[in-house]
Every structure is written in structure tokens, then in C-alpha cells.
């Protein structure tokens, strides 16, 4: 009888250990998000003193050694294609990461790899014959998958293409090809959502061009690229009140934009 009871106890103990192990394994993984694009993704909002010391709640950042570390702005610091460190300031990731953690209760790992001033042509498969920023981003994204699962892609880019006159049909074609290649090489399908943001709506460029991109090109992207969703820039201000020709969002606007990205991302996964 005692042996029988002991066996039952050992059996249920083993089951308990398996369940606990599975639970811990799941808890130990990160929800990974890739943030790519140009300067407004990298972050150009001016710092407050606390921004460079406050750790973002529940958020880690993939560092130069491809290891997660507690996330502190600037989040584009480890991008392998970034401009000078002095240009890396507050971007949407500062709002996005904590908001995703709060919504999901999961640990968030950000892989940020933006490049200021980059046109979509440079992000294409094969790039612009000189460079492929997509390849550069994948060099960091694929190793990050050992820490968890890719849950979404945040893309903010378009200012350069609006200025260059490549923000219409060719933009949609290039974007669709880039996202298809990215998903393929990371080993995910259309279940991984992409969220794209509107550019700033003030007069940094001709208003008709801005309107055509925000409500023409991006709307078509969401229809033609599977699981692609647009985030509005309504009401978000620019960083230099005396220079509306600057296309960059302010610190507070960038953080709010990140929260909007999180709202859209969360809605696609739930």
C-alpha cells in the first residue's frame, strides 16, 4: 500500500514538474518586435534628462553582442546601419515597448535597426546595388530568435521617398517585396503583423504629397500586403516649433506614436 501511494505521489510530482517546466520555458521567452525604417523610427525627439537612465518597464533591447539587455533610450544605439550616435534620440520604441509589455504581460525584446534618411530602395531585396539595409537588419533579427518568437514588425519610413518622388506605385511594389522577403528569411508567415505609420502632417513638404502618401500609398499597402495595418499621425507635433520644415516628431509625439503602434499591434494579435 505504501509503495502504491509512493508511486502515485511520484507520478503526480513528475507531472507537476513537467507542467512547471513548460510554464517556465514559456515565461522565459521574449515577445520579439523588429523596428525598422528611417530617422523617425530611429528617434529624433530631444531627450529629457531622465530618458537616458530610466529603464523601460518590461522591455529589453538586443545589444551589439546580440544579447538582450534592459532597454534604455536611445533604442537605435545598436543598429548596425545607424548614423552618428549623436543623432540617436527618442523614438517610438520608447512608447511602444512598455505599452506592449503592459498589454500582454510578456517580456518584450526590441530589435531596432533603423537608418536615418534611408529610402525604401535601400531596404529592398538586393538594396540599391550598393547596400541592402534589409540584409543588415536580418543579421541581427535571426540570432534574436533564440530568445523568443517574432511577434511583429514596426515600420516607419517614407519621408525620403516623398521627397524623391518614389512614394506611389513603386513604393507599394518595393514594400510588398521587402516584407515578403523578410518574413521568408526569418521563417515566419503572414501571421506576423506589420504596422506602418503615417508621416508627419505639418508643412515639412508639400501638403498634397504628404496627403497622397498617408491616405493613398499607405492605405493601399494595408490592402495589398497581407496582415499590414496603418497607424495615424493625427495631432502629433514636430520637434522644432520654429522650423516646420523639419520632418521629425517631437519627443512626446514619438512616444505617443509608439503607443499607437502598440494599440494596432495588440489588436492584430488578439
Q: Domain locations in the chain?
A: 31-269
d(CA 216, CA 116): 23
Q: For the chain, list residues with pLDDT below 50.
A: 1-26
Residue 163 is predicted with a pLDDT of 97
**Residue 142 burial (CB < 10 Å; 0-12/13-18/19+)?**
middle
DSSP secondary structure string for all residues of 4-52: HHHHHHHHHHHHHHHHHHHHHHHHHSEEEEEEEESHHHH--BPPPGGGG
CB-hemisphere CA count at 13 Å for 122? 19
165: left (phi over 0), alpha (psi -120 to 50) or beta: left
User: How many residues are there in the chain?
Assistant: 270
d(CA 53, CA 56): 9
Whether 200 and 249 have beta carbons less than 8 Å apart is answered as yes
DSSP secondary structure string for all residues of 124-138: STTTTSS--HHHHHH
Going by C-alpha positions, the residue among 35, 267, 269, 31 that lies closest to residue 150 is 31
CA distances from 111 to 37, 114, 242, 267 (A): 12, 10, 33, 21
Whether 113 and 137 have beta carbons less than 8 Å apart is answered as yes
Residues 127-130: contacts with CB under 8 Å, at least 24 apart: none
Whether 250 and 237 have beta carbons less than 8 Å apart is answered as yes
Domain spanning 31-269, CATH class:
alpha beta
3-state DSSP call for residue 153? strand
Whether 189 and 226 have beta carbons less than 8 Å apart is answered as no
Report CA torsion sign: 95, 100, 102, 107. Answer: negative
Q: Work out the number of other CB atoms within 10 angstroms of the CB of residue 188.
A: 15
Amino acid at each position: 500500500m505504501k509503495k502504491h501511494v509512493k508511486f502515485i505521489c511520484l507520478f503526480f510530482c513528475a507531472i507537476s514538474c513537467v507542467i512547471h517546466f513548460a510554464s517556465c520555458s514559456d515565461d522565459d521567452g521574449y515577445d520579439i518586435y523588429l523596428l525598422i525604417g528611417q530617422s523617425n523610427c530611429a528617434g529624433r525627439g530631444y531627450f529629457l534628462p531622465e530618458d537616458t537612465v530610466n529603464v523601460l518597464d518590461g522591455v529589453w533591447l538586443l545589444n551589439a553582442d546580440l544579447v538582450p539587455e534592459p532597454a534604455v533610450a536611445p533604442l537605435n544605439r545598436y543598429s548596425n546601419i545607424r548614423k552618428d550616435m549623436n543623432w540617436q534620440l527618442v523614438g517610438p520604441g520608447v512608447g511602444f515597448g512598455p505599452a506592449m509589455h503592459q498589454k500582454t504581460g510578456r517580456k518584450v525584446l526590441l530589435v531596432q535597426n533603423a537608418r536615418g534618411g534611408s529610402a525604401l530602395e535601400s531596404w529592398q531585396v538586393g538594396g540599391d546595388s550598393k547596400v541592402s539595409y534589409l540584409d543588415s537588419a536580418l543579421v541581427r533579427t535571426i540570432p534574436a530568435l533564440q530568445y523568443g518568437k517574432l511577434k511583429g514588425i514596426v515600420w516607419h519610413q517614407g519621408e525620403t521617398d516623398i521627397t524623391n518622388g518614389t512614394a506611389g506605385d513603386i513604393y507599394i511594389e518595393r514594400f510588398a517585396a521587402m516584407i515578403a522577403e523578410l518574413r521568408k528569411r526569418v521563417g515566419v508567415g503572414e501571421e506576423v503583423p506589420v504596422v506602418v505609420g503615417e508621416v508627419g502632417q505639418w508643412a515639412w513638404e508639400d501638403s498634397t504629397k504628404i496627403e497622397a502618401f498617408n491616405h493613398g500609398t499607405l492605405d493601399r499597402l494595408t490592402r495589398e500586403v497581407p496582415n499590414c495595418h496603418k497607424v495615424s499621425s493625427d495631432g502629433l507635433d514636430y520637434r522644432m516649433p520654429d522650423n516646420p520644415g523639419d520632418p521629425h516628431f517631437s519627443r512626446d509625439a514619438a512616444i505617443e506614436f509608439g503607443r499607437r503602434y502598440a494599440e494596432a499591434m495588440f489588436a492584430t494579435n488578439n
